[in-house]
Structure 1
Amino acid sequence: MARSLDGLVLSPVADQAPGQVGTRTRFTYHERDGRIWAEYAGGDVVRGHLVGTREADTLDFRYVQLKQDGTTSSGHCRSTVTELADGRVRLDERWAWESQEGSGTSVVEELPA
């Protein structure tokens, strides 16, 4: 199992569609006893939160966010945790909106120290 996510700051490696998370979004993760949560903001996202569980190297969580235009949205994500050659954490994500149409994949990586 990859190391704990507790206290790590991660960011997407590429921008998604407008109004979604992107390279300017920062996620601050927390982890305890198989539970994960994070706060995030940046780019088109004013404030976001995610909460869920971790089993081995799989995260399963729901997220909700407030965007710059004042709208809110929510969804579900399953991520696989891996460790990069330089020791940083990478999340390969498969997500789906629950409050609107759409789904996709994304990659989020720990920011270099």
Structure 2
Amino acid sequence: MPRSLDGLVLAPVADQAPGQVGTRTRFTYHEQDGEIWAEYAGGDVVRGRLVGTRAGDRLDFRYVQLKEDGTTSSGHCVSTVVELSDGRVRLEETWEWESQDGSGTSVVEQVTEHAP
């Protein structure tokens, strides 16, 4: 059975473009009965939410966020859940904005108490 994301905190491993999520952004995930959701904030993002579904190691969700400049944006993401050799979780993501032009890939990894 795939490892649950419930209660895990993840962070991007690299900064994206200005005004988007970056290494200072933290995602707190929740999972129950095939549903996933998360709150996120940090960097240029004041507040963000995502909601979607999980089937095996595949996540499919939509996200919305409020940025420091007062603008909002939204998009769609499909992620693959990968368990790292040290037991942490990585999400390998392919995303596309729906409220503006742009798409890309990103990686977020589980943050542990001992991480810098």
**TM-score class, shorter:** over 0.9
Q: Which amino acid aligns with 1:89?
A: V
Render the CA deviation track for 1:4-59: whole Å, top value 9, x for unaligned.
00000000000000000000000000000000000000000000000000000000
Query: 1:86 & 1:112 partners in 2: Cα distance?
Result: 11
Structure 2 stretches lacking a partner, 5+ long: none
Q: Give the letter aligned to residue 9 of structure 2.
A: V
TM-score, normalising length from structure 1? 0.98
The equivalences for 1:31-50 within 5 A come to 31-50=31-50
Separation of aligned partners in 2, 1:24 and 1:10: 10
CA positional deviation for 1:112: 1.9
Unpaired segments ≥5 residues, structure 1: none
TM superposition outliers: structure 1 runs of 4+ over 2 Å: none
TM-score computed with the length of structure 2 as normaliser: 0.96
Name the count of aligned residue pairs: 113
SS in 2 for 1:91: strand
